[in-house]
Amino acid sequence: MKAVIQRVLNANVVVEEKIVGAVGKGFLILLGVARGDTEAEVDILAEKILKLRVFSDENGKMNRSILDVGGEILVVSQFTLLANCRHGNRPDFLESAPPELANRLYELFKEKIREKIENVACGIFGADMQVTLVNDGPVTILLDTETLKKK
């Protein structure tokens, strides 16, 4: 499972010219589910994201988590994070999970985040979406559960 976490001042996602999810200060999370991912990867990723200390404390140091600042989260499913560009110029997406598995784990991920975060908005799985954001910092973190599992 891969995620791009962007610290934002605000973000929204539009489907068919309607805003379907919007947040203020917090995270925009682009989430890609890989073939072979399980609930274990959901748990690892959700826990890591909730504890990431990328918000400033009173001294201006990135020392506070989204839980500490009462931030909001917008989650958008993005299978293209699993793009394989090793051969040729056209990416393949064979490493991404089949839609049924990807949607189930995407929904589970949102549930895990909602256990700790009051305002969690989301896109629509499989839809053509337009995402708008104001990246704060800019702060952008790439996470991959394959790397997070290695100790």
DSSP, residue by residue, the chain: -EEEEEEEEEEEEEETTEEEEEESSEEEEEEEPBTT--HHHHHHHHHHHHH---EE-TTS-EEE-HHHHT-EEEEEE-GGGG-B-SSSSS-B-TTBPPHHHHHHHHHHHHHHHHTT-S-EEE--TTS--EEEEEEEEEEEEEEEHHHHT--
Catalytic residues: 78-80
Q: Per-residue pLDDT for the chain (151 aa), expressed as one digit of tens each? A: 999 999 999 999 999 999 999 999 999 999 999 999 999 999 999 999 999 999 999 999 999 999 999 999 999 999 999 998 998 899 989 899 999 999 999 999 999 999 999 999 999 999 999 999 999 999 999 999 999 987 6
Distance CA 133, CA 75 (A): 12
